[in-house]
Amino acid sequence: MQLIIAEKSTAAETIAKNLAESRLRSEELGLVKFWFTKINGEDSVIVPLKGHIKDVRYPETFKKWEEATLNKLVDARLEYVPIALDNIEVINKFAKKADKVIIATDYDTEGESIGFEAIDVVKAANKNARFFRSVFSSLTAKELHEAFSDLKKPDKNLSDSADARREIDLMIGAVLTRFISLAAERLGNSFLSVGRVQTPTLTLIVDRDAERRAFKSQKYWRFTAIITSGKGSFTAESVEDKIFDEKIANSIRKIKDTKTANVKEAVKKVREVLPPKPFNTTGFLRSAAAIGFSVPNAMRIVQGLYMKGYVSYPRTDSEVYPPTLDLNEIVGELGKSPHYSKFTEEIKRAPLHPTKGKEAKDHPPIHPVMLPKEKLPAQDEKIFDLIARRFLATLSNPSKEELMNIKLNVGGKEFSAHGSRAIIPGWRNVYTYSKYEENILPELKNGDVVKIRSIDEIEDQTAPPPHYSQGGMMKVMEDSRLGTKATRPEILKKLMERRYISASRALIPSEMAFAVIENFKKISEDLTSPKLTAALEDEMKEIESGKKTKEEVVDDSRKMVKEILTKLISKRKEIKELMHKALLQQYIYGKCPKSGGNLRMIISKKSHKRFVGCADYPKCHFGMPLPQSGYIFISPQTCTKCGIHMIEWHAKESKRTYIFCVNPACKPKKEDLKQKKTAAAKAKKAEISISKNKE
């Protein structure tokens, strides 16, 4: 009998259904469901895991958080403790009978580590079992048949690389998290988290916000001209884009009454815009974030689609389709859907020449493999559509666009206008997630005289660099070699859960984040810089290739942590004061609009209800209501109307975090909402009327 071990239940079921050669039946033991059938002529049982079935932990003797044990914590030997007991029981049930064991977990370092956890369980029960590895990038019947017909050996080096990462991350996280939490006296659920990848990532976010805080805006002027001609109207701008010198601004103000302009130059050219590259993990997450998904949520959804066999493996660095991937087959599959058939028919008319980016020898780019067999939830459907349209776009024709540049002489000053229009949309037709706005200019030629309707002056201020977005942070982390394609979304999720950053699209750090990073920068640039993490990732690669052992790499990290800890202990008093100061700031919503005192959360002694109240009570009675259930955190984001910190509210039964201002003055009044609805209804009626007239 052969025992096939999959990473999760959904994947196990998909493998069983796609490879079954006889009647497929299932049984359950506890909460674990498994399947029986014949595969490649052999009696087979397919059992699932729940990801890792063993957890890396410190011995129980280190359970209590004490400063006296921190140095011992660095040298402690870690334990691999069974956690998924139901799954282990199922493996044991069949291990004794199995002469052949096939590991069918995800093919990456993490999947290999999970596979070797299962191998250890089988070996304890059956010393004679033979072990094999199936390697696949999607759960389609075709690819699974190929993978199970060409089995490989499990790769211990790959597994050791993942385990080294787990052990180092636990050691750094446990030692430094305990130190900073003990110093700040933040224990229990309020502990302050520190991590090998998490801390340099947070440093980048904090540094960007520090740059914004230190930014000094400058006043500048811009001038635009509304131009009219018999062939149409358009807007031109002074070629002096941002004018900081008021003398130059005054020289343009003198021509504001000019009524005509001469066309100095009108140039047209056609450019070809190549289709986008195939999706690697970072590219996919950035595009998903651009259409409203949080990075962790997008990763969760695409992983679920993969487990059901609808898309390929979502953790990949490659942007090149391998020659073994049957692109025509996927195009044919998508062509069965009315959403894509129009585009697939056009793609089939010519040989396929997909776009290419960087090549990596792991998994192919993320692509669709099968149309969903059931009605997907709205978010899942949108992610599948994003992946399907991106795939079709990579096989589509380039778009052709006409660019037009017009230079004007306006009273001796040069103004210009830039226009574009699509001649052949090409790939833009299918990839509707790429924004393109036409700006069509009238047909003008050199020497034409046009009228000036007005010359307008715009006064503005320079803006600080924007906060990192979730999608943008994925790219920054990749470029800085922070984390892996598998762990980056989880790092952002952890920073949000620990309240270091706002759970919004813009990554805004809290005061506590500033305090933690400021402390570690003083003590160890290694911990806050991406360089250390990048160097450790290089060592993980050396484990994969067999050049270094897991033990060597972990021991090197122990020495580094000891050095950092010694420096931290020497400055404990200074760190404690800084952390306490940040903690006080963390609980302030802002200034009271009536008295100027600090606004804080207050829990009534009589009713036990919570609300925001002024520290100047009883002189000041200003207050704001708060939700009475769920978890509330003060967001680093401030309200654009009143300047008070918004709250991040997480309902007990909900997966979502809601961010809003609790100031009643900022909420739109019912009358305003009614007026808006009335105006919207009138606009809709007018739109329908215009549409009918055109017809």
**Which residues are catalytically annotated?**
313
> What is the token pair recorded at 310?
């609808």
Across 425-532, the runs of DSSP E, i.e. the strands, are: 449-461
Q: What single-letter DSSP state applies at residue 427?
A: G
User: What DSSP character marks residue 538?
Assistant: H
Rounded Cα gap, residues 408 and 262, in angstroms: 6
Q: Using CA atoms, how far apart are residues 289 and 413, in angstroms rounded to an integer?
A: 43
- Name the residue among 112, 122, 195 with its Cα closest to residue 160: 112
Instruction: Quickly tell me which residue has 């990579």 as its tokens.
Output: 394
What single DSSP character describes residue 509? B
d(CA 107, CA 114): 10
Written as six digits, the tokens of 181 are 């939490």
- Kind plus residue range of the DSSP H or E element containing 165: helix 156-184
631 burial via Cβ count (<10 Å: 0-12, 13-18, 19+): exposed
Strands 598-603 and 610-614: antiparallel
Q: Give the side-chain half-sphere CA count within 13 A for 88.
A: 16
* Alpha carbon of residue 590 to chain centroid: 30
Q: State residue 662 phi and psi, 5-degree precision.
A: -95, 0
CA distances from 96 to 89, 122, 135, 160, 486 (A): 12, 8, 25, 26, 34
Eight-class DSSP state of 320: S
The Cα-based distances of 527 to 78, 179, 198, 522 in angstroms read: 22, 14, 10, 10
Asked if residue 197 lies in contact with residue 533, where contact means CB atoms within 8 angstroms, the answer is yes
